[in-house]
Structure 1
Amino acid sequence: MSENIDFTVARLQQQVPAAETRIDDALIAVASLMTSVVAARRDTPGVDAVQGHATIQRLAKVQTALVGASGDVLRVHGDLVGIARESAGLDLHECPSLAAAGRHAVAATS
């Protein structure tokens, strides 16, 4: 495998999981915000259930969008695994890090 492909694989091995983690972090942050907004509406004297409802709906839309983004990034991850198998000849079962570990083991035994 050329150094260029090795570099690309190494970069993607870092960036894809980082993107997945950041989306999860954003989802957790929005869920926490949702909890705080609903609790504040409930616990603030003089605020009825109708007040803040539009804000809660917007936060729900954000959560839905983040769940969708998470699924899309997971599909991208799978697509990249397929591309690596086809174009780089990597034997990937779950993700590029497994192939890299296997490739180094083969190189060590050669």
Structure 2
Amino acid sequence: MSLSIDAASARIVRELKSSEETISNALVAASALLHSAALADHDISDVPEVKVQSVLLHLNKMIHGLIEARGEARRVHGQLLDIGQAMGATETPYCPPKTAVIAEQRAA
């Protein structure tokens, strides 16, 4: 079964947007978890410090991985947009605001 350019474009735009939103939501959730774990460590004195430190380090790695995944998704987005334009895809591309992309590039 083959897709037309229009059908492929529509599917890719929809799935790309969904993927980017999922990564963003995961980053928010993981950050909230890190915040809660840090508050619990601060407020509850009976928690073993070594175990809490290990948890915080693993949460940090998880968040770092999500930030990396977000950057990769943005790169994929740009590459797919280039391919779509070269192929003459008629689907209106979904792109995050340029200010958000510029701010992320500066932060990197």
Q: TM-score range by the shorter chain?
A: 0.7 to 0.9
After TM superposition, list the pairs within 5 Å mapping 1:91-102 onto structure 2. Answer: 96-97=93-94
Q: Partner of 2:25 in structure 1?
A: 25
CA distance in 2 between counterparts of 1:61 and 1:70 reads: 14
% identical equivalent positions: 30
Contact 1:27–1:63 under 8 Å retained in 2: yes
Tell me the TM-score normalized by structure 2: 0.76
Shift, 1:50, TM fit: 4.0
Q: TM-score, normalization: structure 1?
A: 0.75
What is the SS of the residue equivalent to 2:4? helix
The alpha carbon displacement at 1:46 in A equals: 2.5
Report the equivalent of 2:80.
Answer: 80
Aligned residues: 93
C-alpha distance in 2 between matches for 1:29 and 1:76: 23
Supply the distance in 1 between the matched residues of 2:19 and 2:90 (Cα, whole angstroms). Answer: 23
Deviating beyond 6 angstroms after TM superposition, the runs of 4 or more aligned structure 1 residues are none
Larger RCO (CA within 8 A; separation ≥ 6): 2
> In 2 relative to 1, CA 61–13 (structure 1 residues): closer, same or farther, beyond 3 Å?
same
Q: Once the two structures are superposed, what CA deviation does each residue of 1:30-70 show, in whole Å capped at 9, x if it has no partner?
A: 00000111111111133364440010000000100000000
Amino acid of the residue matched to residue 36 of structure 1? Answer: S
Structure 1 residue 18: Cα displacement: 0.8
Once residues 83 and 48 of structure 1 are traced to their aligned partners in structure 2, the CA distance between those partners, rounded to angstroms, is: 53
SS at match of 1:96: coil
Aligned to 1:6: 6
Offset of 1:89 from its aligned partner?
A: 2.1
> Deviations along 1:64-109, whole A, 9 cap, x unmatched?
00000000001101000111122x22489xx6258xxxxxxxxxxx
Mapping for residues 12-91 of structure 1, pairs under 5 Å? 12-47=12-47, 49-86=49-86, 88-90=87-89
